Chains A and B, each alone.
Chain A
């Protein structure tokens, strides 16, 4: 009887002690803001990677407001929790540097993905694709359905969004050479806010009567623009395109407000970020020219700034949107 009691107590104590010991490796996936389908998909990929590698807990977190200040609060709480690594999509490349440097000083590995952090604030940056390729792709998406050319406008996210600005610059760079008959008339900013994006899209339509296409390289803006085109009965006159999540955008491919959109695979992005973070935790050093394996996605090689490009954007149209809308 005594023995059983003793055994029971020891087991209970052991369980109690084991529970808060956190033997697992904890990787935090910090996103620009929660409630965004793109990042939910990235989290799905991150969880897949965690299951595949084993012994990893992924903490999916981020602020409500997509600001650097709010993200710093999240980073501070992760530093306090002594996580093993932070994989972050940044709201601001510079403002997060001091906070992330503090994290690295306390032994936390830092990987940025999607929207990058300046070199001093992270060890590796994983680009979803290559900036020039994305810039060319978003123009091509519009140009493919405008054989005679015409006016197009860009509806972007925040005017401070790192990645959107880089893509738009790249798009402007390829215009004169590869798409001489496409005329980019304006770039407006909807701040990744549905209401503001809707207003900006309406403004574009009112200001440019010959507008043939709206290019929105953001998943929030593209839905808002397509909804405006649908509501105003402009289907067939204005083609909405850009970067869109298939599940959110399927209805607009179906109703003809859009011919085609593109996106890389956010699932693969979250998946790859966790693989890279795990390699750093295991003691791998990030250095230019070094190649990392990212599981089923393949492998990436770091460039001079320790950044890597994952894959080329993938196009969705009437033929495949049905299939992909079920995935993300």
Chain B
């Protein structure tokens, strides 16, 4: 009975042997896939291995990747936000409106990010305050946010953003490293620390595994979920600033379909869609893989229709492989 205390109070991430589990982990599978696709691309197209090509490639995933980082935490906690692309549309529209009133670049950025946070807080309030299921809430706000953008803009567009604002979407920090890529990498580190090295992160996992048990253990479930929705809104706001600056214009149809691509990155990154498990490293690798696949196929001028079939199959194969492997091991 006394040896209960002898084991200490550490709560291990997993119970396997750490080296073996590192080799067999989801992340190492993703690294293999990423390296494989990188090599295939290099052989398939003479234009791939070029600093400028690789730099252009990153624009295929940075904005969606930023959202995927926050979305990963939200999905780990057992919730989901389908309204992220609509938040981009609304934030971008509000930035355009602010521009009409002569806002300067810092104000534009503040408006974009601010609207993002407000939208996220609104989602968070509906889910935690009114106890509505997040999938229903965000399907609703998806139409609501984009609807407002359509009412403001109709078939018009806002353009004429100042060059200093364009820098956010088109600028480079150093050589071929774009601001977008820099932001993505910095955010990835921040989210990694938040999820894997803080109490907050442990609580997110606890909520995702069993939110009733977490509640009874003293975790303020609703407050954490509310914060997660605000974070997703914040990242959508940042993505809105980057995308608007990159396009140099706003239309209500901006960023259509981004929510599914962000969720694809999260799921491909090994986050359990049921909540309770996942890692930021996996999500970053998944974002990279999707960027590599779409850009690589683009270099070969593969039609977009084939490209979507390819990414769909990749998702299914990567998710099915470990399950098949486990089944095979259990039988053996």
Q: Kindly state whether residue B247 has any CB partner on chain A within 8 Å.
A: yes
**CA gap between A234 and B25 in the complex, in Å:** 62
- We find that the number of chain A residues with CB closer than 8 angstroms to chain B is 32
**Residue-wise interface mask of A (180-191) relative to B, using a CB-CB cutoff of 8 A (1 in contact, 0 not):** 000000000000
State whether A73 touches B50 (Cβ < 8 A).
no
State whether B170 touches A98 (Cβ < 8 A).
yes
In order of increasing CB-CB distance, the 3 nearest A-B pairs are: A77-B298, A64-B304, A94-B249
Q: Which residues of B contact A95 (CB under 8 A)?
A: 247-249, 251, 254
State whether A61 touches B155 (Cβ < 8 A).
no
**CA gap between A67 and B256 in the complex, in Å:** 8
Q: Which residues of B contact A61 (CB under 8 A)?
A: 301, 303
Q: Kindly state whether residue A158 has any CB partner on chain B within 8 Å.
A: yes
State whether B298 touches A73 (Cβ < 8 A).
yes
Q: Kindly state whether residue A165 has any CB partner on chain B within 8 Å.
A: yes
State whether B253 touches A64 (Cβ < 8 A).
no
Q: Which residues of B contact A97 (CB under 8 A)?
A: 248-249
**Residue-wise interface mask of B (48-60) relative to A, using a CB-CB cutoff of 8 A (1 in contact, 0 not):** 1010110011011
Q: Kindly state whether residue A159 has any CB partner on chain B within 8 Å.
A: yes
Interface size class of B (residues with CB under 8 A): 35 or more
Q: Kindly state whether residue B295 has any CB partner on chain A within 8 Å.
A: yes
Q: Kindly state whether residue B159 has any CB partner on chain A within 8 Å.
A: yes
State whether A34 touches B299 (Cβ < 8 A).
no
State whether B46 touches A65 (Cβ < 8 A).
no
**CA gap between A68 and B295 in the complex, in Å:** 16
CB distance from A3 to the nearest CB of B (A): 32
**CA gap between A92 and B157 in the complex, in Å:** 10
**Residue-wise interface mask of B (223-256) relative to A, using a CB-CB cutoff of 8 A (1 in contact, 0 not):** 0000000000000000000010011110111111
* B interface residues (Cβ-Cβ under 8 A, vs A): 45-48, 50, 52-53, 56-57, 59-60, 150, 154-155, 157, 159, 166, 169-170, 243, 246-249, 251-258, 294-295, 298-299, 301, 303-305, 307-308
Given A67-B257, A77-B298, A95-B249, 20 new contacts (CB under 8 A): A35-B305, A64-B303, A64-B304, A70-B304, A73-B60, A73-B294, A73-B298, A76-B60, A76-B298, A77-B56, A77-B295, A77-B301, A80-B47, A80-B56, A81-B45, A92-B247, A92-B251, A95-B248, A159-B154, A160-B251
Within 8 A of B (CB), among A17-61: 20, 33-35, 59, 61
Residue of A nearest to B150 (CB): A159
Q: Kindly state whether residue A74 has any CB partner on chain B within 8 Å.
A: yes
**CA gap between A165 and B52 in the complex, in Å:** 37
Q: Given A97-B248, A98-B247, A165-B155: A81 and B47 within 8 A (CB)?
A: yes
CB distance from B323 to the nearest CB of A (A): 29
**CA gap between A21 and B48 in the complex, in Å:** 15
**CA gap between A89 and B8 in the complex, in Å:** 66
Selected contact of A94 from candidates B159, B258, B299, B305, CB within 8 Å: B159
